[in-house]
Structure 1
Amino acid sequence: MNELDERIVHVLAEDARRSYADIGTEVGLSAPAVKRRVDRLRAEGAITGFTVRVDPAALGWQTEGFVEMYCRSNTAPGDIRRALSHYPEVASASTVTGDADAVVQVFASDMRHFERVLERIAGEPFVERTKSVLVLSPLLRRYSAGPPG
């Protein structure tokens, strides 16, 4: 991916509904040239899809928290992923460095709902313990593909 491709990806990451003509104006290409590059980036797997970002609160998910998972020593990341994929409240999960084995982002309708999800996660057979923190106010959320070119 060259610098021009990166600029196109950045524009799409900010607003994937922008037209090829609009993107072209911003990066200095014609609409057909932008389309060709986007098609190539999709074919190469650099762009994996287009999506919509929805405010979780608009869907009734008022409570957000992060759960650190501490697992038994023989737990594979795939086992964690398979278990967490069954929770609609889990927005993201990652293995991490440090004491915890994974960090899980959870959205819930309220505190009681968050507590129930936390109890279910803690009850997974490979989980030894959990530690959670609740988000008071999100300060910064970025959805871009990196710094603009």
Structure 2
Amino acid sequence: MDDLDHRLIAKLRHDARAPVADLAIALGVSRGTITNRMARLQRDGVIAGYTVRLRPDATPDEIHAWTSLAVEGNQHHVIRALLGEPGVFALHDTNGRWDLLAELRVGSLADLSGTLERIRRIPGVSATETSVHLQTFRG
């Protein structure tokens, strides 16, 4: 990937639905160049797909939480188990006190309780700490 690819990806991260003509103007290249670059990035698996980002208040009944996890032993086994857990929206490798950070999104407190219970039972998870999202001040 060259500088143009990186700049194109940055524009698409900001607005994945930006018209090719607008991207071409912003990046100072032809529409054909943008179309070809996007096709190559998709074909090579660099762009794996497009998604929709929702405002935090767009799903007011959804509960968001973050669970920090300490892992003993085979971290890959724990990661595979967490990625198969329906309540885990995203999973991040971290440094410091905790080994992993799981972003949870569930429909109710009962769902959160069940998700946390299943996470705690994963072999290799030695400790967890969970914080529930209450309010966003800047998003």
The 5 A counterparts of 1:1-149 are: 1-54=1-54, 58=58, 62-72=62-72, 74-76=73-75, 78-141=76-139
CA distance in 1, matches of 2:138, 2:23: 25
Alpha carbon RMSD of aligned pairs, Å?
2.3
CA contact (8 A) 2:82 2:88 kept: yes
Amino acid at match of 1:67: T
Larger relative contact order (C-alpha < 8 A, sep ≥ 6)? Answer: 1
Q: 1:113 to 1:79 in 2, by over 3 A?
A: same
Q: How big is the shift at 1:55?
A: 5.3
Give ranges in structure 1 of 5+ residues lacking alignment: 142-149
3-state SS of paired residue (1:121):
helix
CA contact (8 A) 2:23 2:34 kept: yes
CA contact (8 A) 1:61 1:107 kept: no
Q: How big is the shift at 1:7?
A: 2.2
CA contact (8 A) 1:56 1:62 kept: no
3-state SS of paired residue (1:35):
helix
Q: 1:81 to 1:56 in 2, by over 3 A?
A: farther
Q: How big is the shift at 1:64?
A: 0.8
Q: How big is the shift at 1:24?
A: 1.1
Deviates more, 1:53-62 or 1:34-43: 53-62
Q: How big is the shift at 1:57?
A: 6.3
CA contact (8 A) 2:67 2:131 kept: yes
Paired residue total: 139
TM-score by length of 2: 0.82
Q: 1:43 to 1:37 in 2, by over 3 A?
A: same
